[in-house]
Amino acid sequence: GENVEQHPSTLSVQEGDSAVIKCTYSDSASNYFPWYKQELGKGPQLIIDIRSNVGEKKDQRIAVTLNKTAKHFSLHITETQPEDSAVYFCADLNTGTASKLTFGTGTRLQVTL
Amino acid sequence: DSGVTQTPKHLITATGQRVTLRCSPRSGDLSVYWYQQSLDQGLQFLIQYYNGEERAKGNILERFSAQQFPDLHSELNLSSLELGDSALYFCASSVGPDQPQHFGDGTRLSIL
């Protein structure tokens, strides 16, 4: 993609609450949208992804939604736990022309007890 | 554990020097990608190789070069190092160019 905007930059929730992180992309040809979780001292870990032919995907407490018309995609984490605390990155990719992931600027999620 | 191995974990060197970062992709992955992560620039794509051939290039400096060897491991060479090159360098791999990318734990490069 060309540019990916991510909000918010920081998010603090209480344990058990839900967290939502939103991204907007600019390249209308983007067709693959992964989310990564990065813990301190580690590399980004792929937690869920979605392709443009799907509107929603869920994996246990994590879900991703995609609105192609608005060029928005969001990460939803339910029943948050302290171990969900990390920096989350969204990204997009146009698999037809290039394989480089364009990343958002990251969201630092803090889950408090 | 993603299965992507990067060495060394930490590298401290001086300006003007040259370093080589190494990456072993996950078993079966043919694509290797290099990314740079810095506080001011975030995660930026540098270069991609697929089965030994360069496939895509990002904003990689001319002082930087990479290659992928027949055994599919990759090396990123950084030369004439400057203070601004201090960053985390990540390698990722995937089965193919349109498949999910899995990242290693990176090499932290510090230029003194």
- Determine which helix (DSSP H) or strand (DSSP E) holds A26, and give its type and residue range: none
Which B residues 41-80 touch A at CB under 8 Å? 42-45, 48, 50, 55-56, 58
Closest CA to B19 of B10, B11, B7: B11
Q: What is the pLDDT of residue B37?
A: 97
- Give the residue-averaged pLDDT of B68-93: 97
Residues in B closer than 8 angstroms to A49, CB to CB, are 100
Q: What is the pLDDT of residues A7-27, one digit of tens each?
A: 999 999 999 999 999 999 999
Residues in B closer than 8 angstroms to A45, CB to CB, are 2, 103
Q: What is the pLDDT of residue A93?
A: 92
Phi, psi of A68 (to 5 degrees): -65, -35
Under 8 Å between Cβ of B18 and A61? no
Q: What is the pLDDT of residue A96?
A: 75
Under 8 Å between Cβ of A24 and A65? no
**Sheet containing B19-24: order of strands:** B5-7, B19-24, B74-78, B64-68
Q: What is the pLDDT of residue B2?
A: 87
Q: What is the mean pLDDT of chain A?
A: 94
What percentage of chain B reaches a pLDDT higher than 70? 100
Residues in A closer than 8 angstroms to B98, CB to CB, are 32, 93, 95, 99
Residues in B closer than 8 angstroms to A43, CB to CB, are 2, 4, 6, 90, 92, 103-106
Size of interface A-B (CB pairs under 8 A): 56
Kindly determine whether residue B45 and residue A102, on different chains, have CB atoms separated by under 8 Å.
yes
Q: What is the pLDDT of residues A93-110, one digit of tens each?
A: 987 776 789 999 999 999
Q: What is the pLDDT of residues B8-62, one digit of tens each?
A: 999 999 999 999 999 999 999 999 999 999 988 889 999 999 999 999 999 899 9
